[in-house]
Amino acid sequence: MFGQIEEYFRTSLDRWTGMLAAHVEVSLLALAIAAALAVPAGILCARYERLKGPLTGLFGALRVVPSLAILLLMLPVLGTGTAPAAVALVLLAVPPVLMNTVAGLESVPAPVLETAAAMGMEERQIWQKVRLPLAMPMILAGLKTAAVEIVASAALAAKIGAGGLGELIFTGIGLFRTDLLLIGGGSVALLSLLTGVLFELLDKLLLKYKNV
């Protein structure tokens, strides 16, 4: 077994790095789009109470649909390749970021916002200097959940031709090659773990005040 794995890396390292790069690429793309949609949506929800119910409800419901189902449902609409995979992953990633953004913004203590206003901060300044920065830890936690979920689910995206480490897994299943399964599965697991660690580091780096 180990011989086969070693053999694979000796002969096909380029293929592996190519798949790894594709995996990271589609994951990053999905995460960036999800953040660009969900953080502003969360801000809107926290600002306009009426939007909160419908928006969080909609994405909450979408979250219940299994990721594989979303991927396959996207097939007739967007065809195969990176784009439909990214769309499916975005749908998967929006709920945790949206929910955490709303929760983070709502968790800022009322007295803090009140004293900010009483010192003559304008609405925009209160958001920029106080409310968003204080919601940051929870927004980051939402992004972390989303990123880990994306990296894991991106393996499924190989089913619709998006490439990535999932290819190795599906090839392994098709050919009964345990070594390919182990390399593919192990790589995805390690990438997931690494993503989590990266977000932990980011949290420590950006939010020094929490760790004093």
Nearer to another protein, 111 or 174 (CB): 111
Q: Please, which of residues 134-173 interact with another protein by CB under 8 A?
A: 134
Q: Is position 6 an interface residue for another protein (rule: CB under 8 A)? A: no
Classify residue 99 by burial, with Cβ atoms within 10 Å: 0-12, 13-18, 19+.
buried
Using the minimum distance from each CB to another protein, give the nearer residue, 64 or 212: 212
- Over its C-alpha atoms, the chain yields an Rg (Å, rounded) of 20
Which one of residues 78, 121, 152, 189 is an interface residue with another protein (CB under 8 A)? 121
DSSP string, the chain: -HHHHHHHHHHHHHHHHHHHHHHHHHHHHHHHHHHHHHHHHHHHHHH-HHHHHHHHHHHHHHHHS-HHHHHHHHHHHH-SSHHHHHHHHHHHHHHHHHHHHHHHHHTS-HHHHHHHHHTT--HHHIIIIIIHHHHHHHHHHHHHHHHHHHHHHTTGGGGGT--STHHHHHHHHHHT-HHHHHHHHHHHHHHHHHHHHHHHHHHHHH-GGGG-
The smaller minimum CB distance to another protein, of residues 109 and 174, is found at: 109
Q: Which of 109, 124, 176, 205 binds another protein (CB under 8 A)?
A: 109
Taking Cα atoms as reference points, which of 142, 36, 42 lies closest to residue 102?
Answer: 42
Size of the site for another protein (CB under 8 A): 20
Q: Select from 64-72, 95-103, 107-115, 195-203 the region that touches another protein (CB under 8 A).
A: 107-115
Cβ pair 116, 126 in contact under 8 A = yes
Q: Which CB sits closer to another protein, 102 or 108?
A: 108
Query: Stretches 65-73, 112-120, 153-161, 182-190: which one binds another protein (CB under 8 A)?
Result: 112-120
Q: Segment near another protein (CB under 8 A), from 53-61, 80-88, 123-131, 163-171?
A: 123-131
- Does 128 engage in binding with another protein (CB under 8 A)? no
Instruction: Determine, following the binding rule CB under 8 A, whether residue 207 of this chain makes contact with another protein.
Output: yes
- Report if residue 49 touches another protein, rule: CB under 8 A: no
Min. distance of Cβ 108 from another protein in angstroms? 10
Using the rule CB under 8 A, is 120 a contact of another protein? Answer: yes
Residues that bind another protein (CB under 8 A): 109, 111-112, 114-122, 125, 129-130, 133-134, 207, 209, 212
